[in-house]
Amino acid sequence: MWFWLFYTPSLLITLIIVYIIGFTVMLIGAGYIAPRVARRVAKKFSLQASMLILGLVVILSGIAGVGIVAYVLMEFLDVEVTAGFILSILLLVLILNIVTYLLSPFMINVMYRARKDPQLQHIVNEVARAVGFSKPPKAVIVEAPPNAFAYGNILTGKYVAVSRSLIEITTPEELRAIIGHELGHHKHRDDAVMLFMGLIPSLLYFLGITLVRIGLISGFARSVTSRRREGGGGLVLVLAGLVAVVVSFIIQILVLAFSRLREYYADSTGAYATSPRAMQRALARIHVYYSGVPRAREEIAKSKLKALFIYAFTETYANPFYSYRPVIDPRSVNIDRVVEELKRIQTEDISEFLSTHPPVPKRIRFLDTLYYYRRG
């Protein structure tokens, strides 16, 4: 019976419908609801308060979603079986994420041909001391389009990776700002924080899909101890699974918003390590490059590691996002003029709310508010 559970046409059709509904809800939320809520929240709360509020909303929404699933299941199963079912799904999701977390540094080192570099390590050491690290992360150069990212775990230690091409197009001060941004991710423990946040929608999604599968088994409601033997239990489980999947998509929007707030937080560390202007110039320099090199932009868009990158706001619905069209070589532009032009650009709402990173114009405008970090 469990073999056919994965291959019945009714299951496939139902799952496709569930996915379409969930994705539609996510698009509506990202395109119409999220922008309005975000604007109101941004006007009333600081960055730290916004992260705290949004984090609590994600956690409480996840608890509520799991509670609804448990309530529906207890209509057909006893408490022990329901708890065992939910815990088994949680354990599965947890194991998958932990294995990925533990193996990813090794995979990154191989995929990007990471190599230690004494000169880069010296810069990382200096910036790390400036932002309060007692033990600087390892610095490696990777072969990739201009980008930088922070990664690592308890087995491998912390890494800051910078692509060779990024070093070539940035000034020393801009490079220090970028490294400060990546050190900010380590300082704020973003790898562990986002791992935890990502578990919540994943748990609800797998619970929902499993409920749909169980609900489609013929005669399920009459084959277990039930308080509703008149039938219809399978339909109830399918509907409950549908709700769980839709809720998981909604929570995923919130997790993406939380990720964008963490990027602003890391930008503030980069600004503290150097100056807000240096961080703005660095972001603008990288943006100039990707605006003029579509193939590199596509490579970032397809990367499964793009959530780690300092620049990952890539085109999904429009090409390009911004009307500004700079020259290809970022070293030959008046970067301060580019910064000012980017500040005036309005971005596409739906594109931003489906991304792990804020658009560069918003990040540049945010850095203007960091007057406490201005130096000289």
CA distances to 65, 136, 235 from 141, in Å: 43, 16, 54
Count of alpha carbons within 13 angstroms of residue 274, beta-carbon side: 27
Q: Is the peptide bond before 320 cis (omega within 30 degrees of 0)?
A: yes
Report d(CA 345, CA 157) in Å as an integer. 39
- Across the chain, which distance is largest between two alpha carbons, in Å? 77
| Amino acid, single-letter form, for residue 358 | P
Report d(CA 345, CA 155) in Å as an integer. 43
Active site residue 299: no
Helix (H/G/I), strand (E/B), else coil: 178: helix
Helix (H/G/I), strand (E/B), else coil: 115: strand
Neighbours of 341 (CB within 10 A): 17
Report d(CA 289, CA 282) in Å as an integer. 11
Q: Please tell me which residue in 182, 315, 341, 348 is annotated as part of the active site.
A: 182
Contacts 24+ apart (CB under 8 A), 153-157: 153/101, 153/102, 153/104, 153/105, 153/191, 155/102, 155/105, 156/105, 156/106
Burial label, 346 (beta-carbon count in 10 A; 0-12, 13-18, 19+): exposed
Burial label, 182 (beta-carbon count in 10 A; 0-12, 13-18, 19+): buried
Contact 235, 215 (CB under 8 A): yes
Report d(CA 216, CA 220) in Å as an integer. 8
- Closest C-alpha to 194, from 150, 135, 145, 163: 150
Report d(CA 248, CA 3) in Å as an integer. 26
Q: Which residues are catalytic?
A: 182
